[in-house]
Amino acid sequence: MTSVAVIVFPGSNCDRDAARALDDVLGAGTATLAWHAETSLDGIDAIVLPGGFSWGDYLRTGALARFAPVMGAVRVAAGRGVPVLGICNGFQVLCEAGLLPGALLRNDHLHFRCDEVPVEVASSDTPWTRAIAPGRTLQLPIAHGEGRFHADDAVLDELVRDDRVVVRYAGDNPNGSARAIAGVCSAERNVVGMMPHPERAVHAWMGSDDGALLFESLRLTLAAGSTDMNDTSELELTGAH
Amino acid sequence: MPTDTLPVVPVGEPTPDEIADGALWRDAALRDDEYVRACEMLGRRPTWTEASIVGVMWSEHCSYKSSKHLLRTLPTEGPHVLQGPGENAGVVDLGDGWAAAFKVESHNHPSAVEPYHGAATGVGGILRDVFTMGARPVAILDSLRFGPIDGDGADVHATRRLMAGVVEGIAGYGNCVGVPTVGGEVVFDAAYARNPLVNAMCIGVLRHEELQLGAATGTGNPVLYVGARTGRDGIHGATFASIEDPHGRERSAVQVGDPFREKLLIEACLELFATDTVVGVQDMGAAGLTSSSVEMAARAGSGIEMDLDLVPVREPGMAPFELMLSESQERMLVVVKAGTEHVAREIFERWELDCAEVGTVTDTGEIVLRASGEVVCRLPLAMLVDDLPERRWPVERDDSRLPKLDLAAVPELAAGAAGETLLRLLARPTIASKRWIHDQFDSMVGAATMIRPGSDAAVVKVHGTDRAIAASIDCNGRWCSLDPRAGAAHAVAEATRNVACSGGRPLAVTDCLNFSSPEVPHVAWQLEQAVAGLGDACRALGTPVVSGNVSMYNRSGDIDVHPTPVVGAVGVIEDLAHVTRSAWTTAGSLVLLLGATDVALDGSEFLVSEHDLVAGGAPPIDLALESRVQACVLEAIAAGLVRSAHDCSDGGVAVTLAESAIAGSVGATLDLGALATRDLRLDELLFGEGASRIVVEVDADRIEELAYIAARHDAPLTQLGRTGGDDLVLTRDDAPLLRIPVTELANAWTTALPTLMNSEPHA
């Protein structure tokens, strides 16, 4: 049985939504809520850092959550190649923690913005987008005040060059993000952060079920028996024996 | 009472005699006759702490002294009512063991002087009222009223800043706490220029067995204070709300909200409730620790004793009256079973919130407070909640404030001007798209929202079921100013009609009565009439009032707000397939008007927009017909006949048709001739307003089924034409009235607010 930890920081408010979406798409019992004070995430197949306002977003979004004990365990798991997905505030936390490049600044129009927007999947080469053809457009909700992706040009060039832009705003850029970036992944590709909320789009009655594709991707990834895309060669070698 | 148990006077406070001699009771918001009455009831002169407690409990805000005799006339019972008024929120049965707790409350005065925090704490307060009932909050709706934001001048700019602040405050609190803001209404009218109305409604979901009540039962049970610490903010907030002219008051009476702490408080409380150790719980809202402790003990017929030295504080040196009157936010009072205190303590510690045992439940019928080891207050509970002074202000209608409409003196609308008039109406701030506002609210957190703001009602799924809640909040204050009884009935009719149009069976309503000073005889008449109108409609439509709030003294300078009895309706959708939107769904459908056909320009948006005229009565309303029309649309929806349904309200049928066209990006060719059952003027036909009217879109092949259902409900049904094409084309008996591309309608409707608020519309 797949086990996905959804981290609960004080002020997380999409933790239950993410857990429900995981259970709905991958089967009841998939998600477990993991308290911010946990120091170990052993036996977990994947990790979701949910949206919300961890520690009230006081000081700066994600700036306090990165110091939570559980982030040590997230870092260890990420280093082992466990798939990690940061959604909205989770993305901000991952950037603050240095697990993802860049930063998320105040929206260029200075308002919180809640909407449903078209998002193009730019890379299928992550555990969370594996089941989605590159170039496919998903309809996903956004809801944030600080979602403007920012990095210096060298980093942006590197992200584009290395196919690490995972999702990109396909229509109007809703927050002024650099190069319309909605989500990126780590150099090892297993850590993904994105501002859109796939957990709010997993059933037709929600207005879109495109978000379920991210969780379906995780299923494919885990079924493949490896969480690290770089390990596929090793898999093949093993298979050759 | 033996003298040795008389309360002592803390150092620095006036003595009872000094209060009496210096008429200091007035600073505790007691009227002269009330002070005399308090002394008589007590058999002695109250201390400053006691006078402050009596003053706040007898304030209009807490005691409803000017409205109680009227509120008693409202229907509050029904087969699906699990909890009526008197608790923190009303509760209705959703079926299958599920229930919804809901209430609406005002935060008008605080928002007038401190828009961000005033609005934010309004949201925080109504959330606490709902989760106190054991419910998880799942939706917020707002009813907002401001002065005009179009035009120029210092007032207009100030109003825009005020509105921006209120919107940001609601967003700042609701978004962070993680409860979606799913709907609401926003109205602009000069009557609210200096005294905005900010009403927030919250709906929560619970299982029947999870219901919590606010009663402090069980002598010896410990009283726990949980949540944030007490500071000096919001002292006299409740009395402030009971005094005229918010601008005459200080900003320091406004509380400061912390949504992060509220989020923790929600989770900690719901976790605690699940442990079955809780006897009673109440939020510390208006009048803080005073009202929560007094009301909980009074409901149980018990007594309460607290040691104020144990109250968690933000700063030392707070006087007993300050501790008791502070309206610091995010605090709750919980009574637990004796011996289970550790359960609460562990939970709150984990959520990093204070939890202090501050007192015990007694059986004395008194509230006794200690500070520094001495009794500083000893008051009978009966005097604070039962034997309240009631105020019957003189009631007299002032006909000079009820201008008649002489329609003959209003120039008729030229046929060629219909199109430009429609475009102007669509751009009126009250009618135009509110996306500039709603996009700032997270309307989807909770992952249960099925219909976001902008349709007739908001719809939120109940997780784990195939049911959903439909909710709408409405009032036409202008109609209420012209005919408060009919206007209030319209508010109930419109809110429930919006619920029905979305596929929901209306169950009950909550009301927020926003009025000016009841001491003005005409306002007292408005209040009396409006409550009568609410009662008329709630009885006729079978939707009892299960919770509510009264906000008076909404006036600034010489301007009284319109009497504004805001009504929030909640209904249940028993099958998700019945969820219905207002947007036209496809080309080739038939478009019909279901319901009443008589309309009026009295008090219409058209008369204000085009002739700067507020006159007449309210449009006619036939509550029996309203009931039949709602039942008809619900049956038609359940039969799968209705592709979309849209309540016909502000701006009349022309605006309603345009809204459905815009929302669905599809045109239509419609003839309105058959709507003129009498010799209607063109402006009446297009822009006249009325009740009991719903524009429905149906599959042309199933029109006979709809006609059959309508006939059975004795509900008029008028065929107008078909959807299709890129233009909205309206004719009258085949004579052309207007032809406008839907994109042009959309442009007028969507750009109005962003342009006024000086920002780019979203694509």
Which of the four pLDDT bands, split at 50, 70 and 90, describes residue B197?
very high
Structure tokens at B512: 């927020």
Asked if B463's CB is within 8 angstroms of A21's CB, the reply is: no
Report pLDDT for A230: 44
Give the residue-averaged pLDDT of B52-76.
92
Structure tokens at A193: 């952060």
Q: Out of A88, A96, A116, A144, pick the active-site residue.
A: A88
Closest CA to B242 of B45, B389, B23: B389
Q: Percent of chain B beyond pLDDT 90?
A: 87
Q: Out of B61, B490, B578, B713, pick the active-site residue.
A: B61
B272-291 residues touching A, CB cutoff 8 A? none
Q: Out of B107, B438, B562, B578, pick the active-site residue.
A: B107
Q: Taking the complete model, does pTM exceed 0.90, yes or no?
A: yes
B427-471 per-position pLDDT tens digit: 999 999 999 999 999 999 999 999 999 899 999 999 999 999 999
Has residue B204 got a pLDDT over 60?
yes
Has residue B52 got a pLDDT over 60?
yes
Which among B263, B442, B763 is the nearest to A143, CB-wise?
Answer: B442
B522 is catalytic: no
Report pLDDT for A158: 98
B570-628 per-position pLDDT tens digit: 999 999 999 999 999 999 999 999 998 789 999 999 999 999 999 999 999 999 999 99
**Pair type for strands A191-194 and A84-87:** parallel
- The beta strand positions in B322-414, using DSSP E, are 331-336, 354-362, 366-371, 374-380
B677-706 residues touching A, CB cutoff 8 A? none
Structure tokens at B692: 């009991």
CA nearest to B169 within chain A: A112
Which of the four pLDDT bands, split at 50, 70 and 90, describes residue A240?
very low
Backbone angles phi, psi at B67, to 5 degrees: -125, -10
Report pLDDT for B154: 87
Interface probe for A, chosen from B116, B175, B262, B578 (most Cβ of A below 10 Å), is B175
Interface probe for B, chosen from A6, A8, A13, A169 (most Cβ of B below 10 Å), is A13
Residue with tokens 């594996």: A130
Is-contact A183 A128, C-beta < 8 A? Answer: no
Has residue B250 got a pLDDT over 60?
no
Which of the four pLDDT bands, split at 50, 70 and 90, describes residue A237?
very low
CA angle B393, B394, B397 (to 5 degrees): 125
| 3-state secondary structure (DSSP) of residue B541 | helix
Asked if A114's CB is within 8 angstroms of B763's CB, the reply is: no
A216 is catalytic: no
Report pLDDT for A238: 33
Residue B257 touches chain A, beta carbons under 8 Å: no
Give the residue-averaged pLDDT of B630-634.
98
B726-763 per-position pLDDT tens digit: 999 999 999 999 999 999 999 999 999 999 998 656 55
Cβ neighbours of residue B232 closer than 8 Å, sequence gap 6 or more: B252, B314, B315, B318, B322, B326
Residues of A with CB under 8 A from a CB of B: 10-11, 13-14, 17, 20-21, 51-53, 55-58, 109, 111-115, 141, 143, 145, 171-172, 174, 197, 199-200, 202, 205-207
Report pLDDT for A234: 35
Please give the full DSSP string across B474-520, using - where no structure is assigned. E--HHHHHH-HHHHHHHHHHHHHHHHHHTT-EEEEEEEEEE-S-TTS
B469-493 per-position pLDDT tens digit: 999 999 999 999 999 999 999 999 9
Q: What ipTM did this prediction achieve?
A: 0.93
Asked if B449's CB is within 8 angstroms of A112's CB, the reply is: no
Q: Percent of chain A beyond pLDDT 70?
A: 93
B341-353 per-position pLDDT tens digit: 999 999 999 999 9
Q: Lowest-confidence range among A51-65, A218-232, B102-116, B276-290? A: A218-232
In whole angstroms, give the CA distance from residue B471 to residue B504.
Answer: 8
B273-315 per-position pLDDT tens digit: 999 999 999 999 888 999 999 999 999 999 999 999 999 999 9
- For the domain made up of A4-224, the CATH class stated in words is alpha beta
Has residue A233 got a pLDDT over 50?
no
How many CB atoms are closer than 10 A to CB B78?
A: 17
Looking at every residue in chain A, the average pLDDT score rounds to: 93
Report pLDDT for B244: 57
| 3-state secondary structure (DSSP) of residue A52 | strand
Report pLDDT for B251: 55
Report pLDDT for A235: 36
B515-568 per-position pLDDT tens digit: 999 999 999 999 999 999 999 999 999 999 999 999 999 998 888 999 999 999
Residue B633, judged by CB atoms within 10 A of its CB (0-12, 13-18, 19+), counts as buried
Give the residue-averaged pLDDT of B57-80.
92
**Pair type for strands B590-595 and B693-698:** antiparallel
Question: What is the distance of C-alpha B546 from the center of its chain?
Answer: 13
Which of the four pLDDT bands, split at 50, 70 and 90, describes residue A5?
very high
Which of the four pLDDT bands, split at 50, 70 and 90, describes residue A239?
very low
Which of the four pLDDT bands, split at 50, 70 and 90, describes residue B243?
low
Has residue B98 got a pLDDT over 70?
yes
Give the residue-averaged pLDDT of A27-56.
96
Report pLDDT for B761: 60
H or E segment and range at residue B581: none
Has residue A122 got a pLDDT over 60?
yes
Asked if B176's CB is within 8 angstroms of A141's CB, the reply is: no
Looking at every residue in chain B, the average pLDDT score rounds to: 94
Which among A21, A52, A114 is the nearest to B444, CB-wise?
Answer: A114
Size of interface A-B (CB pairs under 8 A): 89
Which among B260, B443, B446 is the nearest to A53, CB-wise?
Answer: B260
Give the residue-averaged pLDDT of B702-728.
97
In whole angstroms, give the CA distance from residue B196 to residue A137.
Answer: 43
In whole angstroms, give the CA distance from residue B264 to residue B550.
Answer: 29
Q: Which residues of B touch A17 (CB under 8 A)?
A: 445-447
In whole angstroms, give the CA distance from residue B462 to residue B467.
Answer: 6
Q: Percent of chain B beyond pLDDT 70?
A: 96
Report pLDDT for A121: 98
For chain A, the structural domain boundaries read 4-224
- The beta strand positions in B69-135, using DSSP E, are 81-83, 90-95, 98-106
Report pLDDT for B677: 82
Give the residue-averaged pLDDT of A73-100.
97
Is-contact A211 A117, C-beta < 8 A? Answer: no
Cβ neighbours of residue B396 closer than 8 Å, sequence gap 6 or more: B521, B522, B524, B525
Report pLDDT for B242: 57
Q: Lowest-confidence range among A75-79, A222-226, B471-475, B598-602? A: A222-226
Q: Which residues of A touch B175 (CB under 8 A)?
A: 53, 112, 143, 145
CA angle A121, A122, A127 (to 5 degrees): 70
Residue with tokens 């900690």: B268
Report pLDDT for B730: 98
